[in-house]
A and B are shown apart, each in its own frame.
Chain A
């Protein structure tokens, strides 16, 4: 019976149900559409992740140093699975068309591979030789080239010895160039997208012959990447396999016979701390540290630029010049030096030397030593063959040809006596001190030991090597595999949920649709109040009546949600079309492909049905509380002054104070919580406004009793069905809130771009080089080398590649890119901070203890959205990194650049000093911030040409900011459209309310007409009533929006576009006014008086 009753009701009141179906369908379409966008983005990211990795499961990448390619074969044998070696580096690709026009593409990933690599590819192997290379499709498209054409490739020529290391050669040619025919253009499915970085943006790839790249880069036999395909049933764990397979030679460490024994040394001059520590454990080990000192003097006499050696004091004079009893403030000198400076045993000599500061600069220091003994040259000559090989120093004929990375006095270099010494004794040291004293003077971030000597013969080399390799783990030397596939999939799983994002973006729209559904339902139910009264009157229990009516409504809800879910697929496709069109900034141009998860469809459907039924149940509950007599008599129609009025006032004030609290919290600088502040304050303000609106309606009703006028009658009508009126107000307010909030968040980037406190930091340009330039551009050396104008000021930064944590990367950045920045120049400029006195930059100098260093997030958006990390000096989140020796360290996020958006977005900033400590081998500088004197911008624009071989791309800081802002702007556009749709729904709701109110009160209006009210008076009455609701909705929405966004607007670079907001508000008001007028005209049309006859 009940089912039949419900179905009959559904059929009879089909018009009411059609409106419910429509409202539910809109809600379902938006919900399902939003969730499916999330599915599609996630599916696309997963697809890209798998495409870029092919069969690769784990990868070992040695940043800043290289290993012997033979390790791959040995590891492969140990693991019994293919291990693929590769050499990857950055490069610049150039093409010249037939017209002679040259096109250049920077930031190209150069991958040196052999045939083994393609076993990991999902596609066939292209032909790659010394003359031919394969390129990725995006590279080919960008340079407009095809297979068969010729391209030039410029790469950096890395040095085995870190370029920043003391005594490293500087004038060595830094780049090399090669020419190739393009043998194949590889699509994403053919491994064209290959990359180990968790980013959905495809890199520009060029695949070249491994041997060619090794040869050209001066890294014969070396690789920096090992890849494995990862069989499921691996018997030996990867890292264990590595520990079993690696050899000292793989990391450039060798043991060789030398005068008096064996010497362990590195091709990088300095042994890594881990190697040195392990090596010093050997029996009879003598550690040494060699250095070039600036001057050795005694009184007025001196000798310039001399090699010195420090060694472990030892009784074994064959291995160490330093006797066992030598104290740290004593020195042993050779006869030549004694003669040169007239030194005798017991004299005090002064040794001047350069100390390498963390900033990369050299500072001269002097230390005095008492002459312990003077040894004949023959004894010192034994050191000559044991000295490390310094390219540019030990391989030149004359002192004046020395090429070292330290500032040198040209006149001193031409010292005749020293030249003669060089000719005769070459790198034979002139002085020896204890290893302890040597380390105190010359240890640097590259190491504190240049060699370790052992007693023994060649026969013992293998045993010693074995001992050393077993004492060292591969990971301690920076050889460790990273589960790149697992990380890639995690990055996808932890990526920003576009489903959640779009549900948030369309939340107000979905809520509006549900409110509209409830409104339509209540219209229908109130129309049937008498019927309900009869059912209750004849004895139906209230729950049963509720069940029947909700059962009837559930048919509509199911139908609406079903239709809406299907329409949701269309909404998704429309949103995806937007994301690949006008809104492509929101996904950084990622081609998102449609993907449907049936479970999502079901979830969207069920959630909508439940929400719609809940909304309807709430409205029904109120009606069912009425007495049957009231329902039958129609007297339920008037909302009584609720007894709970006081509680509503309390709730209203509570919400208001809560909103103020949220705003205050936001203004206090809780930038990372801005989104919660916005939604929290917005919701609470809307609620408090709603309570205020209710209060106003009650007051209007009371005031209207004092004097009866047409206007008062109209306004009081709006108080008759307060719930209904307030629903219309909320509908309008929600849409208005969204539209006004979004439009007020427009940033005028150009307006503040020149200010230091803005997102540009006041810099005119930001430059990014593909290949590192050796010296900071602010240094005198670079200014001279590159002929840089005085009108340009620079701040050069070191870059440690990592995940892009900017808004362009949809994946969750696991290890964001690190920038090593010079603290003082940025602090003194007051760059990116509200005032030059701001202490933010100084946070980078904090000492946080061992293995923890302070870091600043590149901007507020990065902290809040991409990293989703807390920043605080004491309790900030910590990011775990590995330094170049493989040791883990943590970067605590002690702060963030305060602007929501800066040109350093997506990076974590650490001090130059800390950067250099952890990544001493990271060569040169790859980022530069440029200050230009006003009117001299043209000079900056010549920079890329001057640094062309480093592939420097110079971007106006404002342009960079606008590029980043395009993502936000796209979201705002989406938000705006959805807000606009919310306003449309609100307006529809208001229109429906007008119609319903007028139709419901038609007989009352007819009575008024009968007693002499003019049609105009009636129209004014109806318009006044509904314009009041419109005004309340617009006022409530816009005030709530402006208050909620005030913390965002308080951020640097933001301003309130008053004119735009006012014009938008005027448009909304005009649309609302017109729609109310249209609905009123329609509702009052026809013969109103006939309503009296139809009684």
Chain B
């Protein structure tokens, strides 16, 4: 959706010229779990432009992952709205949300969540099944795996890989359907320094080379520093 004129976005930043809608936008998002009296998120406004890289930081338990799950359509906000590419996700069915996740969003979790009985290549191809990505998927997967230097491990099972390698496979899996938005939840949380650095390099390079929008939840300051924008979640709201 393309509009004209200048406007302020939800965060008060001026957009000019052709108005390109935010790839991701949240308005007054709150979250309270049924069994909990505490509100995890209390009115989060966030707008992320296409190609932007954003790091969200904050102390443990502040709601970073919850926010990421909400914007990634893995969870629903108690109140407030989420829009993707200018389209509100309010009222979407489970299946609509799943289809959107499949086509537009890539996820990288703290743990890789690779299926242990499948090979590296098969794990990468898993999202292509509901997306019906066709025959090119296998070649694309091999290319991506080559980019992350895992082309020699195509037939390996996850148990035969190192933690860093598993996480690289998870990143490739998140990219296989060519999403516009990549969400990473502490992608280096369980990795050593070198592996963490490698994953950081990979994510940044993906942004540069593919124009991928990147939202990373992390505790790692060095990774956060490599993002274009760093936001801190505190007391249920985001702060620049």
A interface residue numbers (CB < 8 A to B) = 630, 633-635, 637-638, 705, 708-710, 713, 716-717, 719-720, 1003-1004, 1007-1017, 1089, 1092-1093, 1095
Interface size in chain B (residues, C-beta < 8 A) = 37
Q: Is the CB of B113 within 8 A of A1089?
A: no
Given A705-B119, A1092-B74, are A1011 and B102 also a contact pair (CB < 8 Å)?
Answer: yes
Expressed in whole angstroms, the minimum distance between the Cβ of B153 and any Cβ of chain A is 15
Smallest CB gap from B176: residue in A: A1011
Bound form: Cα–Cα A633–B157 in Å: 13
Given A638-B159, A1011-B102, A1012-B102, are A1017 and B130 also a contact pair (CB < 8 Å)?
Answer: yes
Contact of B125 among A630, A708, A1013 (CB under 8 A): A708
Q: Find the residue from A635, A716, A1012 having the highest chain B CB count within 10 A.
A: A1012
Does chain A have a CB within 8 A of B131?
yes
B110: chain A residues at CB < 8 Å are 1095
Q: Is the CB of A633 within 8 A of B98?
A: no
Q: Is the CB of A1093 within 8 A of B98?
A: no
Expressed in whole angstroms, the minimum distance between the Cβ of B89 and any Cβ of chain A is 14
Q: Find the residue from B101, B113, B157 having the highest chain A CB count within 10 A.
A: B113
15 A-B residue pairs with Cβ-Cβ distance under 8 Å, sorted by A, are A630-B159, A635-B158, A635-B159, A708-B125, A719-B117, A720-B116, A1007-B109, A1010-B107, A1011-B107, A1012-B98, A1012-B177, A1014-B95, A1092-B109, A1093-B75, A1095-B113
Q: Is the CB of A1012 within 8 A of B122?
A: no
Main secondary structure of the interface of A (DSSP, over half): helix
Expressed in whole angstroms, the minimum distance between the Cβ of A996 and any Cβ of chain B is 16
- Return the 6 tightest CB-CB contacts between A and B, nearest first: A1012-B102, A635-B159, A1011-B127, A1007-B113, A720-B117, A638-B117
Contact of A1012 among B113, B119, B130, B158 (CB under 8 A): B130
Bound form: Cα–Cα A1011–B171 in Å: 12
Main secondary structure of the interface of B (DSSP, over half): helix
B128: chain A residues at CB < 8 Å are 708
A1010: chain B residues at CB < 8 Å are 72, 74, 101, 107
Does chain A have a CB within 8 A of B209?
no
Expressed in whole angstroms, the minimum distance between the Cβ of B179 and any Cβ of chain A is 10
Does chain A have a CB within 8 A of B99?
yes
B129: chain A residues at CB < 8 Å are 708-710, 713, 1013, 1017
Q: Is the CB of A1004 within 8 A of B113?
A: yes
Bound form: Cα–Cα A719–B75 in Å: 32
A1013: chain B residues at CB < 8 Å are 98, 102, 129-130
Contact of A1004 among B74, B107, B109, B115 (CB under 8 A): B115
Bound form: Cα–Cα A183–B128 in Å: 95
Expressed in whole angstroms, the minimum distance between the Cβ of B27 and any Cβ of chain A is 23
A1016: chain B residues at CB < 8 Å are 95
Bound form: Cα–Cα A775–B80 in Å: 108
Q: Mark B129-164, 1 if CB is under 8 A from A, else 0.
A: 111000000000000000000000000011100000
Does chain A have a CB within 8 A of B219?
no
B177: chain A residues at CB < 8 Å are 1012
Further contacts, 6 of them, CB under 8 A, given A717-B117, A1011-B102: A719-B117, A1007-B115, A1010-B72, A1011-B173, A1012-B100, A1015-B98
Q: Is the CB of B116 within 8 A of A634?
A: yes
A1095: chain B residues at CB < 8 Å are 109-111, 113
Contact of B65 among A705, A717, A1008, A1093 (CB under 8 A): A1093
B37: chain A residues at CB < 8 Å are none
Bound form: Cα–Cα A709–B101 in Å: 18
B101: chain A residues at CB < 8 Å are 1010-1012
Does chain A have a CB within 8 A of B126?
yes
Q: Is the CB of B127 within 8 A of A1089?
A: no
Q: Is the CB of B113 within 8 A of A705?
A: no
Given A708-B125, A713-B129, A1092-B74, are A1015 and B94 also a contact pair (CB < 8 Å)?
Answer: yes
Does chain A have a CB within 8 A of B195?
no
A720: chain B residues at CB < 8 Å are 116-117
B117: chain A residues at CB < 8 Å are 637-638, 716-717, 719-720
Does chain A have a CB within 8 A of B226?
no
Q: Mark B64-95, 1 if CB is under 8 A from A, else 0.
A: 01000100101100000000000000000011
Q: Is the CB of A1011 within 8 A of B130?
A: yes
Bound form: Cα–Cα A1093–B157 in Å: 24
A710: chain B residues at CB < 8 Å are 129-130
Expressed in whole angstroms, the minimum distance between the Cβ of B118 and any Cβ of chain A is 8
B69: chain A residues at CB < 8 Å are 1089, 1092-1093
